[in-house]
Structure 1
Amino acid sequence: MIDLSDSYRYCGAVAAEHGRTYYLATRLLPPRRRSAAHSLYGFARTVDDIVDVEPGLSNQDVAAELDRVDAMLRLCFSDRRAVGSSTCTAEMARVLPAFLDTVAHFDIPHDYFFAFLHSMRMDVPGTPAHRARYSTMDELRTYMYGSAVVVGLQMLPVLGTTGRMADAEPYAAALGEAFQLTNFLRDVGEDLDRGRVYLPTGELNAFGVDTELLEFCRRTGRTDQRIVRALAHLISITRSVYRSAEPGIAMLDRRVQPGIRTAFVLYSRILDEIERGDYRVLDRRATVPRRERWAVALPQFTRLALLTRNRSRGSH
């Protein structure tokens, strides 16, 4: 079985490689909370890779692997010593020690992770839960509860709050949803290649956009004003979700606010990059330039340093 410290290091490497914005924001967290955030990311990313990346797996294989992860979690949540008997992928075996340590240390509700697995099954053709399209925003929110909302909720015990955690939960849920909607808008082309359209078809149809038009523009690299108008509308909706989530940042422990503020600003700027790129999400991936990411993060590093210094002075 992999050593616990090695497991945490592995999760940190996964976050650094695959979640640039996320990883930069976590560098502003205190060390224990930072490593915990990496372990949660490592678990979610490893499951996501089973669904979308693992080479040579059929849909049946993917569903079976998700079932193995589900069974392993149930076993390990009841007896952490069982982690050594993992029958999951090698990557998951490397993530599990740190992940389970984080869940136990911060007393994160286990139901969040089973809801996450349920949403992952919704991405796998042939499973009873599978959905390739969502007609309305309400239908999409059913998926996003497991894929994003619970991610925000599971981070709350790690981040800590200044008041009752229950008061901060609606804002954490909204932030998870805002991040997920941003991903959906950025990744329309990549999702099409996997046979998925996450953006609600009803919202798209209102602007004359259907799957065939999206596929045509993906295939030819052309733009279409109907798609531009639909994306502008959905970006407006996503920005409203960011606005509803923002008051929750002030409810967090002051030491973690700079990190979450950084993630909030950088993720929302992906929407700016989509607009700046003339909404060409079908043939390219909008990203916030490295220089701009650091321009946002560095003032938050300064703020954190001042908070830490003042806290240290106050303890003397």
Structure 2
Amino acid sequence: MTDRELDAAGITDPALRAAYTRCRTLNARHGRTYFLATRLLPAARRPAVHALYGFARRADDIVDDLGATATPGERADALDALHQRLLAGLRGARTGEPVVTALADTAARYAIDPGLFSDFMTSMRSDLTVTDYATYAELRRYMHGSAAVIGLQMLPVLGTVVPRATAEPYAADLGVAFQLTNFLRDVGEDLDRGRVYLPADLLAAHGVDRDLLGWSRTTGHRDPRITAALTDAEALTRRVYTAAAPGVELLDPVSRPCVRTAFVLYGEILDAIAADGYAVLHRRAVVSDRRRAAVALRGFTGALFARGRARFRTAPSPSPAPMPSASASTGSGRGAA
């Protein structure tokens, strides 16, 4: 993390600065779209976003990347240990875990509801035992903790121009839309981990089940039934984006370019999936670096404009000229008007 961001956020303690820097590194390494959009926020708000991402990434790594030989029980123990360190950190204890240190500081600075972090950990723990979802309603219950709460955690950092409760449903929907996009993009990789995040009833409506997905993944062969199911999943995801879209205008103007950029870039992942013929079981769809740069440049221009307007609104007004005293005036009091 740049010293400018830490200085702008008023983070001076060396250990705390190191913790936030670790979170920024995780965001830059693993969250390319998320990190790019974060760069459009005012410098003072970026460390908090990195902290939120860094903690979520740490939990996700325990679930998926703790090591090929780690058992579900070992992963559960590691998640429980992380959760206990989080609870201690939120109470003000020193935990020695950089992502917890930064997250606890962010939660205190922005008065983020601690229950949101517990809900997140509950969903992470379910990934150790739940491998598919019968219906979209079941998947949404899981995504409350894995995605919706991320939007709700972000909301105090982004700021709103309306009461926060008014913006919360839109923030939650946007978190869900982003995760549904990732689910669709990563169908093949998730299947390798033994998970299917597309609702079973959506797949079954097109004659698709786990066995057919596995056959396609293993053989590299395509099947029109799978393409139809993935097309349906894309349409469902786009409906969630539509529900979330009005929330952008409810945010603090200086935060809108960041969220708009993320909104566009994640949406273009869906475009890339469709353009690639829904081949997500065989390769990952990507948005080109050139396109990402073009969207980011537009967002950067919007961010500069929003920050300029914010500075103009908060600039102190010129002090009025002092009214002349009665003894200094050259006429009556009315003549000085």
TM-score normalised according to structure 2 size: 0.87
Q: Distance in 2 between matches of 1:65 and 1:311?
A: 44
SS at match of 1:264: helix
What does the per-residue CA deviation read over 1:110-162, in whole Å, with 9 as the maximum and x for residues that have no partner?
Answer: 111111111011111xxxxx311101000001110000000000100111000
Which residues in structure 2 correspond to 1:165-314 (within 5 Å)?
165-314=164-313
SS at match of 1:285: coil
Residues 245-254 or 53-62, more deviating: 53-62
Which residues in structure 2 correspond to 1:140-179 (within 5 Å)?
140-179=139-178
Q: Distance in 2 between matches of 1:200 and 1:143?
A: 12
What does the per-residue CA deviation read over 1:20-75, in whole Å, with 9 as the maximum and x for residues that have no partner?
Answer: 00000000001121110011000000100000001142111100011111212222
Give the partner amino acid of 2:83. D
Q: Distance in 2 between matches of 1:309 and 1:201?
A: 49
Residue equivalent to 2:51:
39
Question: Is the 8 Å Cα contact of residues 89 and 100 (structure 2) preserved in structure 1?
Answer: no
Residue equivalent to 2:108:
104
CA-atom RMSD, angstroms? 1.3
Alpha-carbon shift at residue 2 of structure 1 (Å): 7.6
CA 1:114 to 1:2, structure 2 compared with 1: closer, same or farther past 3 Å?
A: farther
Structure 1 position 27 matched with structure 2 position 26: no
Residue equivalent to 1:90:
none
Residue equivalent to 1:133:
132
What does the per-residue CA deviation read over 1:264-313, in whole Å, with 9 as the maximum and x for residues that have no partner?
Answer: 00001111000011100011111111111111111111111122223334
Residues 130-139 or 253-262, more deviating: 130-139
Structure 1 position 77 matched with structure 2 position 76: no
What does the per-residue CA deviation read over 1:180-223, in whole Å, with 9 as the maximum and x for residues that have no partner?
Answer: 11111000000101110110011001101011110011001111
Alpha-carbon shift at residue 10 of structure 1 (Å): 1.2
Residue equivalent to 1:61:
74
Structure 1 position 6 matched with structure 2 position 18: yes
Residue equivalent to 2:125:
121
SS at match of 1:183: helix
TM-score normalised according to structure 1 size: 0.93
Q: Between Structure 1 and Structure 2, whose CA radius of gyration is higher? A: 2
Question: Is the 8 Å Cα contact of residues 2 and 97 (structure 1) preserved in structure 2?
Answer: no
What does the per-residue CA deviation read over 1:79-135, in whole Å, with 9 as the maximum and x for residues that have no partner?
Answer: x23324xxxxxxxx12122111101100100111111111011111xxxxx311101
Question: Is the 8 Å Cα contact of residues 2 and 94 (structure 1) preserved in structure 2?
Answer: no
- Structure 1 residue ranges without an equivalent (≥5): 85-92, 125-129
**Greater RCO, 1 or 2 (C-alpha within 8 Å, sep 6+):** 1
Question: Is the 8 Å Cα contact of residues 189 and 282 (structure 1) preserved in structure 2?
Answer: yes
Q: Distance in 1 between matches of 2:21 and 2:156?
A: 21
- Structure 2 residue ranges without an equivalent (≥5): 1-12, 317-337
The percentage of counterpart residues that share the same residue type is 50
Give the partner amino acid of 2:202. E
Residue equivalent to 2:61:
49
Q: Distance in 1 between matches of 2:312 and 2:146?
A: 42
Q: Distance in 2 between matches of 1:196 and 1:169?
A: 29
Give the partner amino acid of 2:87. R
